[in-house]
Amino acid sequence: MRRKKVMIVDDDKEFLEELRETLFLNGYEVIKVDDPHRVLDLAGNNKPDIILLDLKIDHSSGFEIADELSRFTRTIDIPVVAMTGFFTENEHISLMGLCGINKCITKPFSAEQIVTAIESELRKKV
């Protein structure tokens, strides 16, 4: 069975590295992105199954990125899970919905929490 491809977007390089490792250890293929401006390109080319997106990134906003992803046919079907330390899950839920964010998970989450979140979104896709 093909490993599911997860794209993770965050400007915290150490966190990105650790998360990549966690997801890899849980059987995913991981694409790291620390430059918010490359998300659209890389997502269009690599066709990940799911994108984990930090909502508060330097010089950009996760909301904007999610909104862009939902406007292009090549990326429109990719589910987006927001990871945030800034907002809580209940806040801005309607804004998240408008931007095409399917789920929000609050940092610091456990490995189990993130895997559960990914799996539940992927199941919805099928």
Q: Which residues bind another protein (CB under 8 A)?
A: 12, 14-15, 18-19, 21-22, 25, 56, 83-86, 88, 106-111
**In this structure, are residues 121 and 103 in contact, taking their beta carbons and an 8 Å threshold?**
yes
Q: How far is the CB of 126 from another protein (least distance, A)?
A: 27
The residue among 5 and 15 lying less far from another protein, judged by its C-beta, is 15
Minimum Å gap between C-beta 97 and another protein is: 20
Region label for 108, one of left (φ > 0), alpha (ψ between -120 and 50) or beta (otherwise): beta
Task: Kindly tell me which of 40 and 115 has the beta carbon lying closer to another protein.
Answer: 115
Instruction: For 89-117, give the DSSP string.
Output: TTTTHHHHHHTT--EEEESSPPHHHHHHH
CB of 15 to another protein, least distance (A): 4
In terms of CB distance, is 27 or 45 closer to another protein?
Answer: 27
**Pairing assessment for the beta strands 56-57 and 60-61 based on DSSP bridges:** antiparallel
